[in-house]
């Protein structure tokens, strides 16, 4: 495998996933990096950057600090900034060069926490995995450290079933109102929402997550924390997003699509992806419609469109696939008529047989985690309305 | 107070300093850094695309690829851009050289059209793992003898070690030029992202001598780019291009002169005299008489001041290479320059720094990357009571009106009244003064959609980069 992308974009990276997941919670997030990570994340992957105050920074790592393994500058700079900004927590986020030099994010975090008295977490991200991994790590850390460890049973003030919504970040849902629509949907069904991880919730709301009766996982970034909350509090979870007012439950399809053992390894950072199993996603035999993108969204849309159109659909998780794998998958689908994917996937059609490519209709469904801000205004709120897709099919 | 976060007040302390108290060249204490949304300056993707028909291949980790691939996508140049992703296994296996050679080869072989040149960008990981550039690029050149392959660098960790990535890029983008017979009637302006304005003293002087002017921004084909190598004189006026000019003259045999950007009349005159001397020497002709444009500048200052009056002005370092020189001249002419947004002074600014420190000690310097800079723009918005930022209907009272020269100043002050220019905008000489003053008058009277404009990466790159 040459790990090449001759023609397509690349998914947002793990470090940015951490930042996106923690953005709204009042913490100070420091990417231990020289320069580029901050501008890349804030320019392309963070639609809240202009309007919503936050404390996302880089350490401005230099060659000499990297070579000498000098973590003291990072620690001093973080402590000084924390003393002035008073964040609710501090996150130290690894990137590629610290990963190479063996930077110990946990150890640095412990020193910083001791000196500032502010809860501090280290993330051993490497800049070499996808945002799914980073956001998962961030959410799992919140579950371990921030969430109140005592579940409040039989809360008298409400008889409504209580839920958390897990895996909400602009990388998968942009800022087009999808997050609010998801909440509205569940409220309309009689649920009380304890927290949304992590758009539209405060850190205090997140802390109460153990009180929920059910967790709803709306993207793969929420899977790690769902498993964690199940392990700690026994809270069951459902996977899937609601589309045009219909709840799509893909819990079985998700679990069929991956290996449970792999999943745990993945969220613990031991393996890079969970797409090793041949049947990667909701994969009907000989599908006519291929939906590429984030796993839970793709599976949900595949199931929804299959119900609506009667056509065979395949939800394909591409967040950890490279160009060659994707091309091979497309080539292997003999009856393929439609691809629904981010517009930056379209050039890939150049790499398959011309006669086959001509028969495939490409429907653009922009995904912030792939094309960044480029098509942000065109990202539809499918939770609210799917007509734009149905009309094109 | 800049902002109240919870129970705590955030002040500007540390992110702003009086000129009279500022140290040279680093007025602020370094630390964690913030990145503002003002993105108009060019990056190494934009600059590399100036080489006509060339294909860029970046070899790095996903987090680094993310920014560059989307830069290329935003400039609609993905067809000239590819990537090879470095993964953890490559670091563990120590096969980065193999990955680069095989990955680049794979991409070149897949391209529909064979490019005449390929720019291969390595990253910090190649440097830290001790990769052998001779092996990597030797193998590629052997595999693709019909393609000019050049090493380029995205290594920000090394930004304080020798040449910066920006300086290196401006050197490497001319490293593909092949020696040819020198034409004494040809000159090249080197290292700019934006074309030199044809009304600039620099351009007019060269034209007056009847010289053929090469500039990468006007090259439309790779063959046309190669013609730059015929130049007898290489001229740079953007500081980051200086090292590239030196390297080029040494390699190809022409002469390099560096003419510093300035708003100081004496410095401009001196720079133009050097230019005329070199042109005359090359052509064996007499030195053209100086055209005195100082009076024209003075009239323009007067006209602009009459319009702008006491309106507070802020300048930032992305506007031009020497914001202190601009501030000095404006202050000397009675303008109400209140702030300069910069994080450090360049060596060329020493004289401006000393003058401003002595004569305008209350001038404020604002950092742009300080952790507190994060809250400056939102604080400005809140002070102005703007709920819909940069909406053209959003009228701000006259007393709140700032005129910004540069995108970052406009962003931090949340003003739609700004001069939207980066990297000097191709201006040089007395015209840099008169053209900027004209842009200031326009900016004062005609608000722009600041929020939308400043977030566009690589201002002007769409019209410069030819596929």
Model confidence over B339-365: pLDDT tens digits? 999 999 999 999 999 999 999 999 999
Q: Do A10 and B66 touch (CB under 8 A)?
A: yes
Q: Which long-range contacts (CB under 8 A, 24 or more apart) does B202-209 make?
A: B202/B235, B202/B237, B202/B259, B202/B272, B202/B275, B202/B428, B202/B429, B205/B272, B205/B275, B205/B276, B205/B279, B205/B288, B206/B275, B206/B279, B208/B288, B209/B279, B209/B280, B209/B283, B209/B285, B209/B288
Which residues of chain A does B86 touch, with a Cβ-Cβ cutoff of 8 Å?
Answer: 3, 96, 128
Helix (H) or strand (E) holding A99: helix A96-101
In a domain, A2, yes or no: no
CB atoms within 10 A of CB B270: 14
CB A386 within 8 A of CB A244: yes
| pLDDT for res B4 | 74
Cα–Cα dist A168/A166, whole Å: 6
* Residue B26 at interface with chain A, using a CB cutoff of 8 Å: no
Q: Do A86 and B6 touch (CB under 8 A)?
A: yes
Torsion-angle region of B305 (φ positive above 0: left; ψ -120 to 50: alpha; else: beta): alpha
* pLDDT for residue B53 is more than 80: yes
Cα B278 → chain centroid? 26
CATH number of the domain where residue A189 is located? 3.40.50.1980
Same domain, A176 and A228: yes
* Residue A2 at interface with chain B, using a CB cutoff of 8 Å: yes
Q: Do B128 and A36 touch (CB under 8 A)?
A: no
For the record, the structure tokens of A348 come out as 């890939």
| pLDDT for res B467 | 47
* Segment B149-160 mean pLDDT: 89
DSSP label at A13?
Answer: B
Instruction: Tell me the average pLDDT of chain A.
Output: 89
Interface of A with B in 184-243 (CB under 8 A): none
The CATH number assigned to the domain with range B52-172 reads: 3.40.50.1980
* Residue A362 at interface with chain B, using a CB cutoff of 8 Å: no
pLDDT category, A276, cuts 50, 70, 90? very low
Q: Out of B66, B83, B156, whose CB is closest to A35?
A: B156
Residue A270 burial by Cβ neighbours in a 10 Å radius (0-12, 13-18, 19+): exposed
Q: Tell which wins on pLDDT, B385 or B143.
A: B143
CB B213 within 8 A of CB B234: no
ipTM of the complex: 0.92
Q: Do A344 and B32 touch (CB under 8 A)?
A: no
CB atoms within 10 A of CB B6: 9
| pLDDT for res A261 | 57
The β-bridge relationship of strands B117-123 and A338-341 is unpaired
Q: Out of B7, B33, B63, whose CB is closest to A16?
A: B63
* pLDDT for residue A266 is more than 80: no
∠ CA B326-B327-B332, rounded to 5°: 100
pLDDT category, B164, cuts 50, 70, 90? confident
Cα–Cα dist A309/A304, whole Å: 9
Cα–Cα dist B382/A13, whole Å: 33
CB A159 within 8 A of CB A244: no
pLDDT category, B366, cuts 50, 70, 90? very high
Q: Do B124 and A96 touch (CB under 8 A)?
A: yes
Write the CA distances from A29 to A18, A177, A317, integer angstroms: 9, 25, 28
Interface of A with B in 58-77 (CB under 8 A): 58-64, 66-67, 77
Domain limits at A210?
A: 162-247
Which residues of chain B does A126 touch, with a Cβ-Cβ cutoff of 8 Å?
Answer: 61, 88
Torsion-angle region of B53 (φ positive above 0: left; ψ -120 to 50: alpha; else: beta): left
CA distance A204 to chain B (A): 13
Residue B175 burial by Cβ neighbours in a 10 Å radius (0-12, 13-18, 19+): middle
Q: Out of A49, A81, A99, whose CB is closest to B31?
A: A81
* Segment B36-65 mean pLDDT: 94
Cα–Cα dist B256/B278, whole Å: 10
User: Which candidate, B307, B347, B318, B329, places its Cα nearest to that of B439?
Assistant: B307
Interface of A with B in 85-104 (CB under 8 A): 85-86, 95-97, 99-101
In a domain, A107, yes or no: yes
Chains A & B: contacts with CB separation below 8 Å? 215
Domain count, chain A: 3
Which residues of chain A does B70 touch, with a Cβ-Cβ cutoff of 8 Å?
Answer: 9, 40, 43-44, 371-374
CB A272 within 8 A of CB B91: no
Model confidence over A17-64: pLDDT tens digits? 999 999 999 999 999 998 877 889 999 999 999 989 899 999 989 988
Same domain, A33 and A111: yes
Residue of A nearest to B101 (CA): A2
Residue of A nearest to B107 (CA): A6
User: Which candidate, A339, A328, A251, places its Cα nearest to that of A291?
Assistant: A339
Residues, chain A, total?
A: 393
User: Which candidate, A370, A61, A229, A289, places its Cα nearest to that of B62?
Assistant: A370
CB B141 within 8 A of CB B134: no
Q: Do B451 and A53 touch (CB under 8 A)?
A: no
CA distance A246 to chain B (A): 34
Cα A53 → chain centroid? 21
Q: Do B6 and A84 touch (CB under 8 A)?
A: no
Q: Do B5 and A86 touch (CB under 8 A)?
A: yes
In a domain, A235, yes or no: yes
User: Which candidate, A211, A166, A198, A196, places its Cα nearest to that of A19?
Assistant: A198
CB A389 within 8 A of CB A382: yes
* pLDDT for residue B396 is more than 60: no
Cα–Cα dist B293/B275, whole Å: 16
Write the CA distances from B71 to A8, B81, B282, integer angstroms: 13, 10, 41
Cα–Cα dist B220/B53, whole Å: 9
Q: Which of B70, B99, B165, B382 to mutate to test the interface with A (most CBs of A within 10 A)?
A: B70
Cα–Cα dist B378/A56, whole Å: 15
The β-bridge relationship of strands A289-293 and A338-341 is parallel
In a domain, A362, yes or no: yes
Q: Out of B83, B91, B374, whose CB is closest to A55?
A: B374
User: Which candidate, B52, B34, B40, places its Cα nearest to that of B221?
Assistant: B52
Interface of B with A in 383-402 (CB under 8 A): 389
Q: Which of A6, A14, A124 to mutate to test the interface with B (most CBs of B within 10 A)?
A: A6
Tokens 């958390």 sit at which residue?
A164
Same domain, A110 and A193: no
Q: Do B62 and A9 touch (CB under 8 A)?
A: no
Same domain, A202 and A309: no
Which residues of chain A does B66 touch, with a Cβ-Cβ cutoff of 8 Å?
Answer: 10-13, 16, 40, 44-45, 372
Cα–Cα dist A117/A67, whole Å: 30
CA distance B107 to chain A (A): 5
Q: Out of B73, B86, B124, whose CB is closest to A344?
A: B73
* Segment A107-113 mean pLDDT: 97
Q: Out of A10, A30, A38, whose CB is closest to B35?
A: A38
In a domain, A352, yes or no: yes
For the record, the structure tokens of B146 come out as 């019909």
Q: Which CATH class is domain B183-283?
A: alpha beta
CB A290 within 8 A of CB A338: yes
For the record, the structure tokens of A21 come out as 């997941």
Model confidence over B86-124: pLDDT tens digits? 998 898 888 999 999 999 999 999 998 999 999 999 999
Cα–Cα dist B80/B78, whole Å: 5
CA distance B377 to chain A (A): 9
* Residue A364 at interface with chain B, using a CB cutoff of 8 Å: no
Q: Which residues pair with B117 in a beta bridge?
A: B148
Q: Do B35 and A99 touch (CB under 8 A)?
A: no
Tokens 């001509």 sit at which residue?
A358
Same domain, A235 and A282: no
User: Which candidate, B370, B120, B367, B66, places its Cα nearest to that of A36?
Assistant: B66
* pLDDT for residue A171 is more than 90: yes
The predicted model scores a pTM of 0.93
For the record, the structure tokens of A385 come out as 């309305």
Cα–Cα dist B324/B315, whole Å: 8
In a domain, A149, yes or no: no
Question: What ranges make up the beta strands (E) of B124-205?
Answer: 148-154, 183-189
| pLDDT for res A146 | 87
Model confidence over B211-224: pLDDT tens digits? 999 999 999 999 99
Model confidence over B310-350: pLDDT tens digits? 999 999 999 999 999 999 999 999 999 999 999 999 999 99
* Segment B419-446 mean pLDDT: 96
* Contacts of A202 by beta carbon, 8 Å cutoff, 6+ apart: A24, A25, A26
Phi and psi torsions of A190, nearest 5°? 90, 15
* Contacts of A127 by beta carbon, 8 Å cutoff, 6+ apart: A13, A14, A15, A33, A37, A94, A95, A96, A99, B61, B62, B63, B64
Cα–Cα dist B270/B149, whole Å: 39
Same domain, A52 and A104: yes
Determine what percent of chain A is predicted with pLDDT higher than 90: 73
User: Which candidate, B319, B291, B322, places its Cα nearest to that of B201?
Assistant: B291
Q: Do B35 and A126 touch (CB under 8 A)?
A: no
Q: Do B69 and A85 touch (CB under 8 A)?
A: no
In a domain, A134, yes or no: no
Q: Do A4 and B103 touch (CB under 8 A)?
A: yes
The β-bridge relationship of strands B337-341 and A162-166 is unpaired
In a domain, A265, yes or no: no
User: Could you state, in order of their start, the residue ranges of all structural domains in chain B?
Assistant: 3-37+294-454, 52-172, 183-283
Letter string b/e over residues A234-251, b meaning 16 or more CB atoms within 10 A of that residue's CB = ebebbbbbbbbeeebebe
Q: Out of A7, A53, A99, whose CB is closest to B375?
A: A53
* Segment A168-179 mean pLDDT: 96
CATH number of the domain where residue A284 is located? 3.40.50
């Amino acid at each position: 495998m040459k790990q090449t992308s001759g023609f397509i974009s690349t998914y947002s990276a793990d470090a940015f996933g951490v930042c996106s997941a923690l953005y709204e919670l009042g913490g100070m997030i420091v990417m231990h990096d020289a320069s580029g990570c901050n501008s890349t994340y804030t320019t392309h992957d963070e639609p809240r950057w202009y309007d919503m105050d936050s404390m996302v920074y880089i350490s401005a790592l230099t060659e000499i600090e990297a070579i000498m393994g000098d973590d003291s500058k990072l620690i001093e700079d973080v402590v000084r900034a924390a003393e002035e900004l008073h964040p609710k927590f501090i996150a130290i986020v690894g990137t590629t060069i610290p990963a190479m030099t063996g930077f110990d994010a946990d150890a640095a975090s412990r020193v910083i926490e001791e000196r500032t008295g502010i809860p501090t977490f280290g993330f051993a991200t490497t800049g070499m995995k996808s945002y799914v991994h980073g956001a998962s790590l961030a959410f799992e850390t919140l579950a371990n450290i921030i969430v109140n460890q005592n579940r409040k049973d039989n809360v008298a003030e409400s008889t409504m079933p209580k839920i958390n919504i897990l895996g909400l970040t602009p990388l998968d849902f942009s800022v087009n109102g999808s997050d609010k629509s998801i909440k509205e949907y569940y409220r309309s069904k009689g649920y009380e929402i304890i927290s949304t991880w992590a758009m539209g919730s405060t850190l205090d709301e997140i802390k109460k997550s153990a009180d929920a009766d059910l967790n709803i996982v709306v993207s793969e970034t929420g899977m790690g924390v769902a498993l964690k909350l199940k392990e700690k509090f026994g809270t069951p979870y459902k996977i899937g997003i609601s589309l045009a007012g219909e709840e799509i439950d893909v819990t079985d399809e998700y679990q069929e699509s991956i290996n449970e053992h792999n999943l745990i390894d993945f969220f613990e950072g031991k393996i890079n992806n969970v797409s090793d199993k041949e049947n990667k996603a909701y994969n009907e035999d000989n599908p006519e419609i291929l939906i590429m993108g984030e796993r839970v969204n793709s599976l949900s849309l595949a199931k929804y469109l299959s119900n609506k159109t009667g056509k065979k659909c395949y939800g394909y998780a591409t967040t950890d696939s490279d160009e060659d794998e994707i091309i091979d998958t497309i080539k292997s689908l003999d009856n393929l008529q439609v691809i629904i994917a981010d517009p930056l996937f379209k050039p890939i059609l150049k790499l398959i047989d011309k006669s086959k490519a001509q028969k495939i209709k490409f429907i653009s469904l922009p995904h912030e985690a792939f094309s960044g801000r480029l098509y942000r205004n065109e990202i539809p709120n499918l939770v609210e309305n799917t007509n734009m897709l149905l009309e094109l099919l | 107070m800049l902002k109240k976060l919870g129970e705590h007040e955030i002040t500007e302390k540390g992110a702003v300093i009086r000129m009279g108290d500022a140290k040279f060249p680093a007025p602020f204490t370094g630390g964690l850094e913030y990145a503002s949304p003002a993105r108009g300056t060019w990056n190494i993707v934009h600059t590399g695309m100036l080489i006509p028909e060339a294909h860029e291949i970046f070899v790095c980790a996903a987090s680094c690829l993310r920014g560059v691939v989307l830069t290329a996508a935003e400039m609609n140049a993905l067809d000239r851009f590819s990537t090879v992703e470095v993964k953890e296994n490559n670091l563990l296996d120590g096969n980065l050289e193999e990955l680069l050679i095989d990955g680049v080869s794979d991409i070149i072989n897949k391209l529909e059209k064979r490019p005449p040149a390929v720019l291969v960008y390595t990253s910090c990981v190649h440097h830290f793992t001790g990769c052998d550039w001779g092996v990597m690029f030797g193998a590629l050149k052997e595999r693709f003898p019909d393609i000019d392959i050049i090493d380029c660098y995205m290594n920000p960790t090394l930004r304080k070690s020798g040449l910066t990535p920006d300086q290196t890029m401006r050197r490497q983008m001319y490293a593909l030029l092949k020696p040819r017979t020198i034409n004494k009637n040809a000159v090249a302006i080197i290292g700019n992202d934006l074309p030199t304005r044809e009304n600039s003293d620099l351009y007019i002087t060269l034209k007056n001598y009847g010289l053929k002017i090469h500039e990468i921004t006007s090259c439309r084909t790779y063959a046309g780019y190669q013609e730059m190598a015929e130049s007898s004189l290489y001229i740079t006026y953007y500081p980051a291009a200086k090292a590239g000019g030196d390297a080029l003259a040494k390699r190809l045999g022409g002469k390099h002169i560096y003419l510093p950007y300035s708003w100081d009349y004496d410095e401009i005159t001196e720079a133009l005299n050097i230019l005329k001397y070199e042109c005359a020497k090359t052509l064996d002709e007499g030195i053209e008489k100086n055209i005195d444009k100082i009076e024209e500048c003075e009239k323009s200052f007067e006209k602009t001041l009459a319009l702008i009056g006491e309106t507070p002005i802020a300048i930032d370092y992305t506007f031009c290479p020497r914001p202190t020189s601009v501030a000095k001249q404006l202050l000397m002419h009675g303008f109400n320059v209140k702030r300069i947004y910069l994080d450090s002074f360049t060596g060329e600014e020493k004289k401006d720094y000393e003058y401003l420190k002595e004569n305008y000690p209350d001038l404020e310097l604002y950092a742009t990357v300080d952790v507190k800079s994060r809250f400056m723009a939102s604080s400005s918005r809140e002070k102005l009571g703007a709920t819909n930022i940069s909406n053209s209907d959003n009228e701000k009272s006259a007393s709140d009106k700032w005129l910004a020269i540069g995108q970052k100043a406009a962003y931090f002050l949340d003003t739609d009244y700004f001069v939207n220019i980066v990297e000097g905008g191709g201006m040089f000489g007395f015209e840099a003064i008169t053209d900027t003053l004209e842009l200031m008058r326009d900016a004062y009277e005609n608000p722009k959609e600041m929020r939308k404009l400043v977030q566009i990466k690589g201002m002007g790159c769409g019209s410069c980069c030819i596929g």
